[in-house]
């Protein structure tokens, strides 16, 4: 539990910092990508019922693809890379429940396999830990926080966030930085890291909307083959579920 709380504190302190840092100073291996969040839908023949959903890039399947029966039930989930199936994902991992944050004008869905834990930190909207996780293991976890902000640009704080994360781990590598079409401005940082005797993967989503900056963070173990990629597919579903009220 100490590891879990430590990581949450790191992320929140980073996201609170509005100092301007030149993002051109990022390593060449870190690519800032603009991602179109529109996913494709394939329907049953002569029907309005959805058969498959997923991302098509240049007519090739990428990432999580979900298959449904005619009644609309999810029956299969597969992760693709360049149109080739890489592995299946347990559909139980994709069972979500919706949470409304009316005072912040947004809602999102979270996996039902995660339970809420109590944290005495200001501006934490929720903290979640995966159920049935051994107390001796590093448990997958989410936190969602916010702060009231002035008119600073999120991109200016990315390098500082990465530098602070890098200082907390023995090994640290940014996998990607993506600019998303979410709210007024949004970035998703994916990374892998290790410390002491465990390896982990993390995703941090920061986005602005209505003079508030939100931070959705995920950390999970990365010790088994495709373990983090599988969870990344689930996290992307959480991110896709974020909607704003008028």
Residue 109's closest CA among 95, 101, 97, 117?
A: 97
Supply the pLDDT for residue 101.
94
Each residue's pLDDT tens digit, 181-220? 899 999 999 999 998 778 999 999 999 998 899 999 999 9
Residue 57's closest CA among 75, 78, 90, 34?
A: 34
Residue 147's closest CA among 235, 214, 60, 220?
A: 214
CA 117 to the chain's CA centroid: 19
Q: How far apart are CA 142 and CA 218, in angstroms?
A: 5
Write down the domain spans for the chain: 2-36+90-244
Mean pLDDT along residues 152-174: 87
Mean pLDDT along residues 91-105: 94
DSSP states of 89-145: --GGGG-EEEEEEGGGTEEEEEETTEEE-----TTEEEEEEETT--TTSPPPEEEEE
Supply the pLDDT for residue 38.
58
Grade residue 13 by pLDDT with cuts at 50, 70 and 90. very low
Supply the pLDDT for residue 172.
93
Q: 204: exposed, middle or buried (C-beta count within 10 Å: 0-12, 13-18, 19+)?
A: buried
Q: Is the pLDDT of residue 65 over 60?
A: yes
Mean pLDDT along residues 56-66: 89
Q: How far apart are CA 142 and CA 178, in angstroms?
A: 19
Supply the pLDDT for residue 128.
94
78-92, 113-127, 157-171 — which one is most confidently predicted on average? 78-92
Q: How far apart are CA 192 and CA 175, in angstroms?
A: 7
Average pLDDT, the chain: 82
Supply the pLDDT for residue 246.
67
Mean pLDDT along residues 56-74: 92
Specify the fold of 2-36+90-244. Answer: Protein Transport Mog1p; Chain A (3.40.1000)
More confident residue, 40 or 67: 67
- Say how many C-beta atoms besides its own lie within 10 A of residue 13's C-beta: 11
- Cα–Cα distances in Å, from 48 out to 30, 45, 220? 41, 8, 37
Each residue's pLDDT tens digit, 17-59? 322 223 333 333 334 444 444 578 999 998 899 999 998 888 8
Supply the pLDDT for residue 33.
46
- SS3 category, 12: helix
Supply the pLDDT for residue 198.
83
Q: Find the length of the chain.
A: 246
Q: Is the pLDDT of residue 244 over 90?
A: yes
Supply the pLDDT for residue 70.
95
Q: What is the largest CA-CA distance in the chain?
A: 56
């Amino acid at each position: 539990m100490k590891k879990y709380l430590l990581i949450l504190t790191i992320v929140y302190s980073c996201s609170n910092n509005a100092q301007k840092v030149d993002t051109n100073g990022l390593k060449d291996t870190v690519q800032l990508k603009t991602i179109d969040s529109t996913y494709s839908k394939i329907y049953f023949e002569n029907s309005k019922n959805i058969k498959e959903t997923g991302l098509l890039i240049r007519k090739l399947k990428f990432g999580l693809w979900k298959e449904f029966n005619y009644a609309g039930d999810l029956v299969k989930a597969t992760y693709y890379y360049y149109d080739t199936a890489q592995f299946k994902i347990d559909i139980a991992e994709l069972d979500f429940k919706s949470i409304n944050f009316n005072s912040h004008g947004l809602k999102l869905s979270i996996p039902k396999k995660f339970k809420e834990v109590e944290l005495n930190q200001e501006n934490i909207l929720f903290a979640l830990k995966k159920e049935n996780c051994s107390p001796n293991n590093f448990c997958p976890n989410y936190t969602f926080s916010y702060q009231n902000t002035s008119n600073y640009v999120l991109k200016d704080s990315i390098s500082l966030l990465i530098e602070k994360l890098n200082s907390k781990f023995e090994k640290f590598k940014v996998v990607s930085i993506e600019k998303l079409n979410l709210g007024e401005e949004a970035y998703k940082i994916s990374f892998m890291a290790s410390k002491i005797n465990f390896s982990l993967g993390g995703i941090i989503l920061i986005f602005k909307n209505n003079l508030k900056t939100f931070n959705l963070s995920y950390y999970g173990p990365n010790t088994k083959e495709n373990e983090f990629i599988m969870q990344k597919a689930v996290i992307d579903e959480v991110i896709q579920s974020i909607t704003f009220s008028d």
